[in-house]
Each structure stands twice: as C-alpha cells, then as structure tokens.
Homo-oligomer: A and B are copies of this chain.
Amino acid sequence: MAESTPLEESRSPRRAPDPRRRSERARRAILDAASELLGEVGYSKVTIEAIAARAGVGKQTIYRWWPSKASVVFDVFTALTGGTAGEPLPDTGDLADDLRTVLRATVDELNDPEMDRTTRAFTTELQNDTAFAEAVTERLVRPNMEAIKERLRAGRDAGQLAPGADLDIVAELLTGPLHHRWMLRTGPLTHAYADELVDTVLTGLAPRG
C-alpha cells in the first residue's frame, strides 16, 4: 500500500488527502488505540506493535512522533485533560469555593474509567522510569502545583489563610490525600469528600481570632 506522494496529490487534487489532516487523523487513531489497549490489557502489556496494528498504521509512523510507549501514554493523558496543566485556578474571590470546584473536578476526572486507567498507566511508568517521572513532574505536576499555590497566595493576601501558611505544604495537603485515597482505593472519591477535605484544610489554616 504505497502512500501517495505530494506530486501525485498535486496531479489529482480532488482525490488526494490533505497530508496534515491525514497526519492528524493518524495521530488521533494512535492515541485512541493506545487508550483502548490500556483499558483492555493494562500498561505493562501494551506494545507499540499492538498500538500500530489497532490504529492501522505502521510502527514507523508511531516512532516518527513518539520515542517510546511512555511518551504515547503521556500524550493520551494530555489529550484527555485538554492540555490544561498549569492553567490558573478559578478566582471568584472565595478561596474555599474555588478549591471545592477544583477538587470536585479532580474527583470527577479520577472517577472516569479512561482517565483512571491512563493515570494508573502513568503511575506505573513513573515508578520504573526516572526520566519519564521527571518529564511528568516538570510538565504536569509542578505546573499544577504552582497554579494551586498561586490561587492560595491570592487567598492568603485576601486574609483567607493564615499569614504564615507555607503554600507548598497547603498545596500538598489538598492534593496528597485525594491522590492517596485514589491510588490505594481506601475510600470513596465523592464531591462530599472533596468538600470536606477543602473545609478541613482551610478551617484548620484560617487566621485565628
């Protein structure tokens, strides 16, 4: 199955696929195939060969864009989250309300089966591949933590957090327990839980008196 060359395309413009659209279609098919396979066989058993076969492309097409299985899964995750790492949190002026909105959204994401399995695939690879772990931390985790801290800083300036609150610690108090509960499946991930977590942290750390 020879691919049409740009020259051939220029000879029969009405029938020739747009290479950029074809590329985007292949890229999308590869990410979809990877996501499906994650759900069916789990990260450790997914192979580039299987992704290529499922997507109907050659292995070389995948390797042209991604150096490894881990990097494909990275982009599955990015596509799922809409590439929102580091996006500012809502700021309605009410810190507690905004944090509840954000943590409820995180709960919804983690309860989504596709998101759950992609994040677990991620978590698997994080344990075994230090370079991948660093990429995830730098491109996803740290920008998200900075965005949370930025919102906390505005809240602290507005007198909604104790003046001496260490924002790194507060950001971890909000994300760590949720992550722990999701990963170890020690309790339900609900909006009520998200709300209680936010309220416990903020009530505890509100200015006194």
Interface residues, chain A, CB within 8 Å of chain B? 42-44, 120-121, 123-124, 126-128, 133-134, 136-137, 141-142, 145, 165-166, 168-170, 172-173, 175-181, 183-187, 196-197, 200-201, 203-205, 208
Bound together, the chains give a CA A187 to CA B149 distance in angstroms of 15
Given the complex, which residues of B lie within 8 Å of A137, measured CB to CB? 184-186
B133 lies within 8 A of A127 (CB): no
A-B contact pairs, 29 of them (CB 8 A): A43-B127, A43-B128, A44-B44, A120-B128, A123-B123, A123-B124, A123-B183, A124-B124, A124-B127, A124-B128, A126-B184, A134-B185, A141-B184, A168-B187, A169-B196, A169-B200, A170-B200, A172-B180, A172-B181, A173-B173, A173-B177, A176-B176, A176-B178, A176-B179, A176-B180, A177-B177, A179-B179, A179-B183, A180-B180
Bound together, the chains give a CA A143 to CA B120 distance in angstroms of 24
Q: What is the distance, in angstroms, from A43's C-beta to the closest C-beta of chain B?
A: 7
Bound together, the chains give a CA A45 to CA B102 distance in angstroms of 38
Bound together, the chains give a CA A44 to CA B136 distance in angstroms of 20
Bound together, the chains give a CA A133 to CA B203 distance in angstroms of 33
Q: What is the distance, in angstroms, from A21's C-beta to the closest C-beta of chain B?
A: 36
A128 lies within 8 A of B183 (CB): no
Bound together, the chains give a CA A136 to CA B169 distance in angstroms of 28
Given the complex, which residues of B lie within 8 Å of A204, measured CB to CB? 201, 203-205
Given the complex, which residues of B lie within 8 Å of A175, measured CB to CB? 177, 180
Given the complex, which residues of B lie within 8 Å of A200, measured CB to CB? 165-166, 169-170, 173, 205
A186 lies within 8 A of B128 (CB): no
Given the complex, which residues of B lie within 8 Å of A203, measured CB to CB? 204
Bound together, the chains give a CA A136 to CA B137 distance in angstroms of 26
Given A123-B123, A173-B176, output 17 extra A-B contacts at Cβ < 8 Å.
A42-B128, A43-B127, A120-B127, A126-B184, A127-B183, A136-B184, A172-B180, A172-B181, A172-B197, A176-B177, A176-B179, A176-B181, A179-B180, A179-B183, A183-B183, A201-B204, A204-B204
